[in-house]
Structure 1
Amino acid sequence: MDNQKKEPDDWRKNKTLQDCMLYMLQNEIMCDVTFRVGESRKMIKAHKNILASRSQVFHTMFEGSLPEKGEISIPDIDEDTFSNLLLLAYDDDVLISNKNVDSMLYAGDKYMLSTVMSKCSEFLISTAKSADAVVTLSTARQFHLEDLQTESLKYIEDNTAECLSSIHAVELNSQCVQLILKSEYLSCSETDVCNFFLKWITNQCQLQDLEVNAENLRSISGELMSLIRFPLIEKKYFSTTVSHSMLLTTDEILSVFRWHHGEVCSLFSTDPRCPRGPNLQGETKIIHRHTRISNGWRSNAANALIFHSNKSIWLKGCIIFAPLSVTCGGNAKFTFELTDESTNIFSNEVLDMESGTSLNETIGVSLTKPILLNAEKRYTIVVRDIKPTTYYGSNCKSVCKQDDVTITFQNSTKSKCSTDITQGQIAGIMFCL
Structure 2
Amino acid sequence: MTANALAEHAASADAPGRTLNARDYKTLSLSALGGTLEFYDFVIYVFFATVLGALFFPIDMPDWLRQLQTFGIFAAGYLARPLGGIIIAHFGDILGRKRMFTLSIFLMAAPTLVIGLLPTYASIGVAAPLLLLAMRVLQGAAIGGEMPGAWVFVAEHVPAKRYGFAVGTLTAGITGGILLGSLVAVAINTHYAPAEVNDFAWRIPFILGGVFGLVSVYLRRFLHETPVFQELADRRSVARELPVKTILREHRGAIAFVGLLTWVLSAAIVVVVLYTPTYLQKVHHVPAALALQANALATLTLTIGCIVVGWATDRIGTRAVMLVGWGGLLATSYLFYTSLPGTPASLVWHYGLVGFFVGTIATVPIASVRAFPAPVRFSGLSFAYNMSYAIFGGLTPVILTLWLQKDPMAPAHYVAALAVLGLVLALLPMASRGYPMRAAPKA
TM-score bracket relative to the smaller structure: under 0.3
State the TM-score, normalizing by the size of structure 1.
Answer: 0.24
Q: Which structure has greater helix proportion?
A: 2
Q: Which structure has greater strand proportion?
A: 1
State the TM-score, normalizing by the size of structure 2.
Answer: 0.24
Question: Which one has a bigger Cα radius of gyration?
Answer: 1
Query: More relative contact order in 1 or in 2 (CA 8 Å, sep 6+)?
Result: 2
